[in-house]
Amino acid sequence: MSIYPRMALLAACALSVIAQAQADPVQDARLEGALQTALSLNPMLNPFPIKVEVDGQQARLSGDVENPVERALAEQVALATRGIERVDNQLRIDPGLVDRPLELRAYAQRLEDVTLAAVVRARLLWSRVTEKAPIEVESREGVVTLRGKVDSPEAKELAGVLARTTEGVYLVNNLVSLDSMALAKAREKPLDAPDGPQPSDSWIVDKIQASYRFSRNLDGLNIKVASDEGLVRLSGEVVSSEQKAIAVDVARQIVGVRGVDADLLKVATKVEG
């Protein structure tokens, strides 16, 4: 064998070894799971059986959707997934899917209701007023019902406020009642008295930012949050003084917050023109 064919063979073997070394089935599976979850949580796409395959930075979509808008949306969702750079969109368009059984759409609604209830429960858990309150949360098509007994009127009121201001909630039935025995016992202890270990500053910042993100009243992306031993500093920009007051109130009720400084949180000025 001459030297040139031998070099070509060696080069081909080397490329094969490099390709095998670069293949990462674990990462591919992780990206597949992330993309499948994103498609499942999208209210326009979750009724459709979309199959996802990932190879490196490329995702392949297959299955059926009802129209070209949904086909293009699925591709955009894939491209928005971190780690996906290219999409092989093999989705077929089947207008007949409009007559598909309603079970899948009903399942999608149940999934949305469960997710919404979980968000409300999380916001209740993060609040120092309601973190230990035995409040049950039920969601049905955007209507949230709260049940349980609490030891203060503040907890009942705040539970309703947190649910009502959560993105996706249209109506709140606040059926929370006051426990007279617990109320009498709670009066012996001030509402703001510390209870339990002080959470870390990173935990506080994360929960404030998450509460902003879940709130329909705030653009959390424009509000920066910092905390130093529970003393919270807000900066950035909001669109109104009312929104600034809401941002301060939301931060103040998070577990571990000892004070809120919002001097650097500016209200945007309107430019005439």
* pLDDT for the residue 12: 52
pTM: 0.56
User: What's the pLDDT score for residue 196?
Assistant: 62
128-139 in b/e burial notation, b at 16+ Cβ within 10 A?
bbbeebebebeb
pLDDT of 146 reads: 92
The pLDDT value recorded for residue 44 is: 77
Strand blocks (E) in the chain: 50-55, 58-65, 86-93, 135-140, 143-150, 171-178, 223-228, 231-238, 259-267
Encode pLDDT of 107-118 as tens digits: 666 777 888 889
What six digits make up the tokens of 244? 């600034």
Query: Strand, coil or helix: what is 44?
Result: coil
Q: Are strands 135-140 and 86-93 parallel, antiparallel or unpaired?
A: unpaired
Per the structure block, which two tokens stand in for 53? Answer: 């395959």
Whether the pLDDT of residue 22 is over 80: the answer is no
The pLDDT value given to residue 270: 59
Per-residue confidence band for 187, with pLDDT thresholds at 50, 70 and 90:
low
At residue 103, the pLDDT reads: 59
List all residues 6 or more positions away from 46 whose beta carbon is below 8 Å from its beta carbon: 39, 40, 104, 108, 111
pLDDT of residue 108: 64
Q: What is the residue-averaged pLDDT of the chain?
A: 78
Which tens digits make up the pLDDT trace of 217-263? Answer: 776 568 889 988 888 888 888 888 888 888 888 888 888 888 888 88
Looking at residue 41, its amino acid is L
Q: What is the pLDDT of residues 85-99, one digit of tens each?
A: 999 999 998 877 665
Q: What are phi and psi of 145, to 5 degrees?
A: -115, 130
Distance CA 87, CA 60 (A): 6
128-185 pLDDT, tens digit per residue, is 888 888 899 999 888 899 999 887 778 888 888 888 888 888 888 989 887 766 555 5
Which residues make beta-bridge pairs with 225? Answer: 234
Q: Which residues contact 20 (CB under 8 A, 6 or more apart)?
A: none
Q: CA-CA distances (angstroms) from residue 171 to 106, 111, 144, 145?
A: 20, 18, 6, 8
- Mean local confidence (pLDDT), 23-48: 77
Helix axes 201-214 and 103-126, enclosed angle (nearest 10): 140
Instruction: Provide the pLDDT confidence category of residue 60 given band limits of 50, 70 and 90.
Output: very high
